């Protein structure tokens, strides 16, 4: 089977700064791929290449090819909005909209022009259930999402993503604002979601990467150093630099 995402020869510049250097990467379908590496090595940048969030940065320039489901997303004439519905993103800090819980989940449908109450109601319930949030919020769907505790806010961000039925879910350090218990819940959720979605996660937490990911990729200073099955990468890294990093000798 072909990989869900194939990146080859990717270079990215912020103005003159060369942030990603000849990066190649294949992300397999229905697996959790973890991007690890020290701060500033370009993990978030690489993640944001995949749903073209870097388009928001005017001085950002990209060369190379990025195929999602076989289509080059940086070829001319690609529909960025459609791409972002297929490749959803969960951010580092939970960022629910200042709307009700219900409207947060319904957002993606309304963007699609779906306003029919029955359809909305059903999607809201299904998505919240899939994000394991339904039991917490089913009685407070009309409360402001900003009143929820942080971990529920983060799961709400997952729920509103699931409502648009993406293929790929990108997560940029989704647990870094959460305590260990909340982190555990999100991790369990990710493992559950793996059955249906392709997940790429950026994490600073080595234990997290080894707990949940199937494949890991180690980046350093904008370069892809090593990529492989998580078990192997953590037990027998091929590259000295990877070994230094995962054994804590980095820096």
Ligand X SMILES: Nc1ncnc2c1ncn2[C@@H]1O[C@H](COP(=O)(O)OP(=O)(O)OP(=O)(O)O)[C@@H](O)[C@H]1O
User: Which residues are near ligand X by CB under 6 A?
Assistant: 14, 17, 19, 37, 39-45, 57, 204
CB 87 within 8 A of CB 167: yes
Does 44 engage in binding with Mg ion (CB under 5 A)? yes
CB of 18 to another protein, least distance (A): 23
Q: Which residue is nearest to Mg ion (CB)?
A: 44
Stretch near another protein under the rule CB under 8 A, chosen from 1-9, 91-99, 128-136, 198-206:
91-99
Choose the contact partner of 40 out of Mg ion, ligand X, another protein, none; CB within 5 to 8 A by kind.
Answer: ligand X
The interface region with another protein, picked from 31-39, 103-111, 175-183, 218-226 by CB under 8 A, is 103-111
- Residue 185 binding result from ligand X, another protein, Mg ion, none, given CB thresholds of 5 to 8 Å by partner type: none
> DSSP strand E in 4-150: where?
5-14, 17-27, 32-36, 60-68, 71-72, 87-90
Supply 214's token pair: 């199937």
Residues 17-56 vs another protein: string with x where CB under 8 A? ----------------------------------x-x--x
Report the alpha-carbon distance of residue 197 to residue 184 in Å, rounded: 19
Cβ contacts of 38 within 8 Å, gap of 6 or more: 220, 245, 250, 251
Minimum distance from residue 127 beta carbon to ligand X (Å): 28
Task: Extract the tokens encoding 24.
Answer: 């190649």
Q: How far is the CB of 45 from ligand X (least distance, A)?
A: 3
Which one of 26, 62, 146, 206 is in contact with another protein (CB under 8 A)? 146
Tokens for 89?
Answer: 């993103």
User: Got the DSSP string for 51-65?
Assistant: TTGGGGSTTEEEEEE
Query: Residue with structure tokens 């076989």?
Result: 70
Q: How far is it, in rounded angstroms, from Cα 214 to Cα 204?
A: 16
The CA R_g of the chain, rounded to the nearest whole Å, is 18
DSSP single-letter state for residue 86: H
Smallest distance, ligand X to C-beta of residue 98, A: 25
- CB of 109 within 8 A of CB of 119? yes
Contact 34, 212 (CB under 8 A): yes
Nearer to another protein, 33 or 104 (CB): 104
> Of another protein, ligand X, Mg ion, none, which one sits near residue 216, judging by CB under 5 to 8 A according to partner kind?
none
Q: How far is the CB of 50 from ligand X (least distance, A)?
A: 12
Binding site for another protein (CB under 8 A): 51, 53, 56, 58, 81-85, 88-89, 91, 93, 95-99, 107-108, 110-112, 144, 146, 157, 160-161, 164
């Amino acid at each position: 089977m072909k990989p869900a995402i194939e990146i080859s020869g990717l270079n990215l510049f912020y103005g003159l700064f060369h942030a990603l250097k000849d990066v190649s990467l294949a992300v397999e379908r229905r697996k959790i791929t973890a991007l690890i590496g020290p701060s500033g090595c370009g993990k978030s940048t690489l993640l944001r290449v995949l749903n073209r969030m870097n388009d928001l940065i005017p001085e950002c320039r990209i060369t190379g090819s990025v195929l999602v489901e076989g289509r080059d997303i940086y070829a001319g004439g690609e529909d960025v909005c459609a791409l972002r519905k297929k490749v959803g993103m969960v951010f580092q800090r939970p960022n629910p909209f200042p709307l009700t819980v219900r409207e947060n989940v319904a957002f993606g449908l309304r963007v699609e022009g779906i306003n029919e109450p029955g359809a909305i109601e059903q999607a809201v319930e299904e998505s919240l259930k899939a994000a394991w949030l339904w039991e917490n919020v089913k009685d407070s769907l009309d409360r402001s999402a900003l009143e929820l505790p942080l971990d529920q806010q983060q799961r709400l961000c997952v729920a509103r993503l699931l409502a648009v039925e993406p293929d790929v879910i990108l997560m940029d350090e989704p647990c870094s604002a959460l305590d260990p218990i909340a982190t555990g819940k999100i991790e369990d959720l990710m493992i559950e979601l793996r059955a249906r979605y392709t997940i790429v996660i950026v994490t600073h937490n080595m234990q997290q990467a080894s707990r949940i990911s199937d494949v890991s990729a180690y980046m350093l200073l904008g370069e892809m150093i090593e990529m492989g099955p998580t078990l192997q990468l953590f037990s027998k890294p091929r590259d000295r630099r990877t070994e230094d990093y995962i054994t804590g000798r980095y820096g």
